[in-house]
Every structure is written in C-alpha cells, then in structure tokens.
Structure 1
Amino acid sequence: MAKLSHELERFFFETEQPAHVKLADILLLAKERTFGFLLVILSLPSALPIPAPGYSVPFGILIFLLAIQMIAGSKTLWLPQKMINHPIKLETAQGVVKTGIPWLRRIEAIARPRLSYICVTLPGRVVIGSAIALMAISMMIPIPGTNTLPAMGIFVTSFGLLEDDGAISLGGLVLCLMGAILTSSILIALMWGGSSILDYIKIWLGR
C-alpha cells in the first residue's frame, strides 16, 4: 500500500490535473482506507502553520459527519455530494499539499501497525470518533485559537487510524484533549471577560 505522501505527490504534481479539483477526485485515492484518509485530508489545511481561510467551517462540517458515522459503527461513509463536488483551485490545493507533505513524511517514518485494536474495534472507534466530533465543532467556531490545535489533534489521530497505529492515535487524542482545554479556556474567557481555564490551572499549580 503506497504511503499517503506518495499518493498525494503523484496526484497533485506528477499527473496533469484540471484547474479545479474536487474532494470526490481525491477520495478515489483512499481505496479501503476511506475514513482515516479523508479525515487526514480534511484536517490538513487547518492543522498546518499557514493561513487557510474559508476551510475550517466547511471541512469541520464534513469531519463532524464522518465522526458521527464512525461512532455509529458505519463501514461506508456518506457525505453531501454538493460539498465533496465543490471545486477547489488546483493552485490552492497544491500549496497545502506541498506544505503538508514534509509533515506527513515525518509521521510516516515512525508509523507502523501497533495497538491496532484501538483503531479497529468498535469501542476504540467510538472514542476516536467522539474526540474528532468535538474537535470538528471547535474547528467551526469562528474565533482565533480554536482551529489549529483541534485540527492537529484530528490530523494525528486520523493518521493513526489510517495506518492502524494505535500509539499515534493515542498521541492524537492527547492533542485533542489539549485542544478541548484551549478552546474551552478561550470561550470561558470571552464569556466571563476574565480568567480562563489556563489561568485557573496556573493558580492551582502555584498552590
């Protein structure tokens, strides 16, 4: 099975593509790895340290739908045709992929099948799906700071799912927890206009 970085490099840079591409076209690369593959692709733009305006909300919606289907134990995915057939500029997609490939290769270098029961059993997929669903909601919040870390959590967790690497998925779940704390902290600070969760943690540790 070809590595994801190789598949994306071949698709976007080694074969001729039209001026606009669609998620439906990229999805053909997934083969039997549909859920993990698509979750990695959808979280990649927001997880990278580059501006990705306009992608967090629609991709967050798609990620949420996929997560709910994982929780329900679905073996095949369903997504709105209008969204997966929405055209994306080839130059924009190539820019994201070019930036993301080095990060993909770093994770691929350490990924291998281990603790696979976390990724393939229903309880494990329910936990992963629940964490991803919460992070997808965070991605959809139009407030700075609520997108990148949750998207990174989804990206790493889903990459473990893609490679049947439960250890990487567990690392991703830790990032999801950190993302949940950060998002909650930001929201509480905005609502109360005062201390955030992080401030309270610092005070508690100081005692």
Structure 2
Amino acid sequence: MPHRETGKRRRPSLSMPILRTSRAQHRAGNLTLGGLLAGLGERSFGWAIVVFSLVTILPLPPGSSVITALPVLVTTFQMLLGFPHVRLPGPLARLRIDPDKLRLTLLRLRPVTRRLERRLRPRLVALFAPRHEPLLGLALFVIAFTLFLPVPGSGWFPAISLFIVGVGLVERDGLVAVLGLAFGAFSVLLTVAIVLSLAEGAEAIMG
C-alpha cells in the first residue's frame, strides 16, 4: 500500500480543479464562463491564458490574432493590476456552459494532459508569490502585445510561450513558467527584428 502514495498521486490532475468547480456551480444552477473562472481563483489566470493562447494558435485567416489576442491582453493586464481572478466583460462572463460538453472536452484532452502531468510538479514556487505577480503580469502583457500586433510570421511564437507559462501557472511549476518566459523573450525579440526589417524595406522602397 505505501507504494501507491507517490508525489504524482498527491496532486490533482490538470482538469480536476475545473471539473470540481464546474460540478459545484452546475448544482447551484449558475455555471457560467465568468463564474467558472472566478471559482478557480488564482488559477483562473493560468487557465484563461492557456485557453486564449490556444485559440490564437488555431488555423485562422491572416490578421485574426488582432481579435483573438484581445482576451489574452485583458487577462494579463488584470494580472498586472493584481486582480484576484479573471474578470470578463458582462456578456462573455454571463455565457452559460454546458457541463456535459465541458466534461467531454476535458476527457478528450486526457491523453495530452496525462503526458503533461508526468512532468509537472511544484518547483520555484516563489515565482508565483503575490509580490512577483505584477512583474509576471507585465512580462506576459508584453508577450501578449507582440501576439496582438499583425506582424507576419511572428504570432505563433508568443502564443506558444503564453501557453507554456499558463500551464506553469496552473500547476505552480516555476521552472516551466521560466522556460515559457524565456521563449516569450525570444518571441518579442523576433517580432522587433521583423518590424525593423519591414520598416527598412518600406524605407528603401519609398526612398
């Protein structure tokens, strides 16, 4: 019996907090997107960043990141300001969620989340201390801003970095979050390089 009490088993799965919260709110008759994120508390930032960054990675028409990046900008800005949880605009916050569809979606993601869970664990948790939250929010806001800019060929990189940091936030894995931030810094530098290159090209054509 002792062999069953491993460190991995002591931590809930990636989907368990959202399942528990949605189940409780569904029983109370108030399962909405805003209520779900509020119920997740601090982890709502991690979950929101994960979900919204994934949306921007989807194969969408060119320039769509200007729209899909807005929720990420709002989320990271609220984190910068020290909000206790993500607060969505009224109509989006009141959007009702089908608990069965939510559960089915999470079950379909289990093959992916199981692989992540084997590697994630609480590390460098001091990174997530309240005093560091504004600085972390600022870094994520800068990365999200590069995602918001309609720069050809650069959007994929900040989206991936935000996804990595979001997973680190959810699981309180500071090492994963630091890796995501490092990749985010690379994506910011790449965006700046592309913008400067485009500006030089435009100047050469004009002059």
TM-score of the pair, normalised by structure 1: 0.68
Q: Which residue of 1 aligns with 2:205?
A: none
The residue number in structure 1 matching 2:171 is: 163
Structure possessing the higher radius of gyration over alpha carbons:
2
Identity in percent: 29
- 1:57 positional shift: 2.9
Match of 1:144 in 2: 152
Aligned-partner Cα distance in 2 for 1:83–1:55: 19
Query: Is this contact kept in 2: 1:73–1:122, CA < 8 A?
Result: no
Q: Which runs of 5+ in 1 are unaligned?
A: 10-21, 88-92, 195-207
Q: Which residue of 1 aligns with 2:121?
A: 112
1:35·1:77 contact (CA, 8 Å) conserved in 2?
yes
CA distance in 1, matches of 2:188, 2:107: 28
Q: 1: distance between equivalents of 2:66 and 2:187?
A: 16
Query: Could you say if the C-alpha distance between residues 78 and 168 of structure 1 is closer, same or farther in structure 2, counting changes exceeding 3 Å?
Result: same
Deviations 1:59-92 (A, max 9, x none): 32121122122122221332212345579xxxxx
Q: 3-state SS of the aligned residue for 1:161?
A: helix
Which residue does 1:66 correspond to in 2? Answer: 75
Residue in structure 2 matched with residue 176 of structure 1 by the alignment = 184
- Kindly indicate whether the alpha-carbon contact (under 8 Å) linking 2:125 and 2:172 is maintained by their aligned counterparts in 1: yes
For 2:74 and 2:90, how far apart are their aligned partners in 1? 13
Change (3 A) 1:181 1:97: farther
Change (3 A) 1:191 1:64: same
- How many residue pairs are counted as aligned between the two chains? 183
Cα gap change, 1:100 to 1:116, in 2 (>3 Å): same
Is 2:79 aligned against 1:82?
no
* 1:165 Cα offset (Å): 0.8
Aligned residue in 2 for 1:17: none
Q: Is the 8 A contact 2:120 2:171 kept in 1?
A: yes
Match of 1:46 in 2: 56
Q: Secondary structure at the match of 2:91?
A: helix
**Secondary structure of residue in 2 paired with 1:68:** helix
Q: Is the 8 A contact 2:49 2:166 kept in 1?
A: yes
3-state DSSP of counterpart to 1:142: coil
Does the aligned pair in 1 maintain the 2:17–2:40 contact within 8 Å?
no
Aligned to 1:131: 139
Kindly provide the amino acid, as one letter, of the partner of residue 3 in structure 1. S
Tell whether 2:45 aligns with 1:35.
Answer: yes
Deviation sequence 1:124-172 (CA, Å, 0-9, x none): x223211211121112222322211001111111211111111111001
Please say if residues 45 and 52 of structure 1, whose CA atoms lie closer than 8 Å, have aligned partners that are also in contact: no
Q: CA deviation at 1:111?
A: 0.7
Q: What secondary structure is seen at the aligned counterpart in 1 of 2:152?
A: coil
Secondary structure of the equivalent of 2:49? helix
